[in-house]
Structure 1
């Protein structure tokens, strides 16, 4: 017992306050992150369905590339936290350079693919020639957003991994007002500017995201400019260093890409539901995405701090002490999300007054699932982010991919296409997916191997 006491005095573990300090800026940033296309859609809604359809078609294609960039940026922040925790400047420089190289490569390849095949896809999918032309214009300008985000999201993840999560938030507080202002001016042709319609919305986003990335780049030079003068690479030379980064990042990126694809496949299956059920499933999706950020960002912040602690080779009892407190905080965050859904469901008549009574009734029936699922989802996410922080990325990937593609997607197809179950039971598949993940995640975490991981390897 005295030995443990000395260890805790010598190396105190962070607590719930530290997780909160890291998580709340990440939560707001995540909400802003999903807002770029939402803002464009809102501003274009006054022009009618045609411009909205053009923007939606172009954003769907550009969003595929952005989704891959965001997936790799999540791996970037964990790898950064490992390097930052260990205090190895060569390792930290290597992570930053490798992450930028990988992210920029994805952006360039994605933009090249859009220029080669984007026009053909849009012409095949667009309902009219006019919408196809507008979509191509939007997408060609949106490629600027892709390249800027390839750099910007990498830098933002680097800041998060270094426990500077407020810096990415400052970038969004700068870019969102700029995006709204410029888009309004260029869409409608105010103050003598030409009315560009769809192209104006794309230009507003491109200018705002470019400004945001430039702002983060300046902050990076000010906070970590010294890394330019650090000599050497973590794996001897640059190419092996990038390969090691890819080896770590690929399973994490594959997990996020798989989740996105599974969601899109299920959404296509939902189109075969009754109109009211399909509308309810469509409406609950953005609520799930935005409200869920409260608990998800808490668990991601926990993973970052675990990675930092492992980088410092923190004693096991200190790791256990920190994780137990972070776990309690995750349950509080899950409770907050449950209360958000309770308030939403009790306010349906006010939020959606023009919906049919049956659609509102289906949304209200979702309430038990929406309140219960937050708790297994939060504890599974704590496990997943902790295991990723320890480098156990392949195991986590397998849990997600198998529960999505061997359970949720085929079960959704059966429930909708064969059994014609109600929307309540179809939504419940998300809860059963979390139940399936639970033993696989917790058994692995309780085994304790993650506490002895050499994350610098």
Structure 2
């Protein structure tokens, strides 16, 4: 039976903590938003705007770490502690360098950026207060993400999951105390800091998770991180590492900007259509989390096999990964189909026109996870096979050269209905699926020990 195979069991043991990690990360933002909401619209808006700025930076850092995860997984497969140490320190140096750049930009140019985003003086002050503290998250995230990449590459994805379980309640409790203040005794009390308190809680929460991850790595019998010397060989290693992972970060950036561009164009639809799409978007993100985690675990396992030079079952395991990813996507699509039947109960008290718009796009958001899941697993596997630049090229052409201009014409020129505007997203996935599949078949047909050797660098 397919599900009883060792490869599948190993992938699922990696995938379920990855999926829960993603859901917990999303829930942390929701918790902070929920706690800040009683303060009123200005603090909420400040947190929303600041969160958007940070989200872009953190997404790029996570993408860099995901690229490093493939390099680290190959190093694990090679069973060379020296190679693993070099990969870890190279990934950490790259991510921390990017984090330092982001931190510097937020320190030197925070006020011009805030002034460009809003004219409201009170809102500007609140955003400044929040960013003044939360900018340290980019540095802490850089370190934790590379640690998580190392642990995932080792097959220990449950440790990062436990780290989130430590951070989440700590973040929530500390944020509440700092937002609203506390008074234990006459001598032990503090006034509430508003949105600043939410930022402090987040920084302290992720600091605790960083400490837990560091202790877990130090105690792990499977890894011994030796010191490195920044000689010419190590600098070359860092350069090769960067060349491999940069397209991954660029890919995430263009897809993220593309999603925002779609959302911007959807604002030109009538308000009911825009609300319908806005309501569906979080469900799509959460639903694709599961197939994304399976795809990521497949890339880790394949990278480990490449590092160990065990390519006997490579094509077979890739096909298994694709089949299961499609199966998961079909299950998600089925859940979305059920949701479409009860969505009036999920979101009661909406206008009738909004329900009509939701019904119009229902067939589209039901099939979208299948096409997206198919592309996600192909993209991750191709990156594991060293095709990061090719995946970026296909995604860029599919989204920015074809689909976004098409959506602009449909919405801005032809004033199309919500169905045709939203249909561009599954259309984009379909036109990307063909070249991704072709590239995967071509790569697997020619992938041999020599190709595997080219991916290993000292």
**TM-score normalised by structure 1 residue count:** 0.92
1:312 counterpart residue number:
308
Contact 1:303 1:389 in 2 (8 A): yes
- Aligned-residue RMSD, C-alpha: 2.0
Distance 2:245 2:228 in 1: 24
Cα displacement (A) at 1:242: 0.8
1:237 counterpart residue number:
233
Cα displacement (A) at 1:52: 0.6
Cα displacement (A) at 1:199: 0.8
For 1:193, what is the secondary structure of its paired residue? strand
1:247 counterpart residue number:
243
Cα displacement (A) at 1:450: 5.9
> Of 17, 28, 35, which residue of structure 1 is paired with 2:9?
17
> Of 220, 223, 229, which residue of structure 2 is paired with 1:223?
220
> Of 388, 393, 412, which residue of structure 1 is paired with 2:388?
393
Distance 1:226 1:275 in 2: 54
1:378 counterpart residue number:
373
Distance 1:304 1:131 in 2: 44
Cα displacement (A) at 1:354: 2.7
Cα displacement (A) at 1:232: 7.5
Task: Check if 1:179 corresponds to 2:183.
Answer: no
> Of 59, 63, 85, which residue of structure 2 is paired with 1:71?
63
Cα displacement (A) at 1:375: 2.2
CA offset digits 1:338-388 (Å, max 9, x no partner): 123123222212221132122123223322222222222222222211111
Contact 2:178 2:193 in 1 (8 A): yes
2:197 counterpart residue number:
200
Task: Check if 1:414 corresponds to 2:409.
Answer: yes
For 2:220, what is the secondary structure of its paired residue? helix
For 2:224, what is the secondary structure of its paired residue? helix
Cα displacement (A) at 1:23: 0.5
Distance 1:432 1:450 in 2: 30
Contact 2:84 2:225 in 1 (8 A): no
**Which moves more between the two structures, 130-139 or 342-351?**
342-351
2:206 counterpart residue number:
209
Contact 2:43 2:195 in 1 (8 A): yes
CA offset digits 1:114-136 (Å, max 9, x no partner): 11111111123224111110110
Distance 1:392 1:353 in 2: 46
Instruction: Structure 2: state its 5+ residue gaps.
Output: 184-188
Distance 1:132 1:126 in 2: 7
1:32 counterpart residue number:
24
Report runs of 4+ in structure 1 exceeding 3 Å deviation.
228-233
Distance 1:167 1:236 in 2: 34
CA offset digits 1:387-440 (Å, max 9, x no partner): 110111111110111111111211121121111112222221111111111221
CA offset digits 1:285-342 (Å, max 9, x no partner): 21111111011111111111111111122234x1122223222221221122112312
> Of 124, 133, 138, which residue of structure 2 is paired with 1:146?
138
Task: Check if 1:354 corresponds to 2:346.
Answer: no
For 1:313, what is the secondary structure of its paired residue? coil
**TM-score normalised by structure 2 residue count:** 0.92
1:364 counterpart residue number:
359
1:167 counterpart residue number:
159
> Of 439, 442, 448, which residue of structure 2 is paired with 1:444?
439
Contact 1:58 1:135 in 2 (8 A): yes
CA offset digits 1:272-292 (Å, max 9, x no partner): 111011111222221111111
CA offset digits 1:208-265 (Å, max 9, x no partner): 11111111111111126953337789x9632111111101111111101111111122
| Residue pairs, 1:32-71, within 5 angstroms | 32-71=24-63
For 2:135, what is the secondary structure of its paired residue? helix
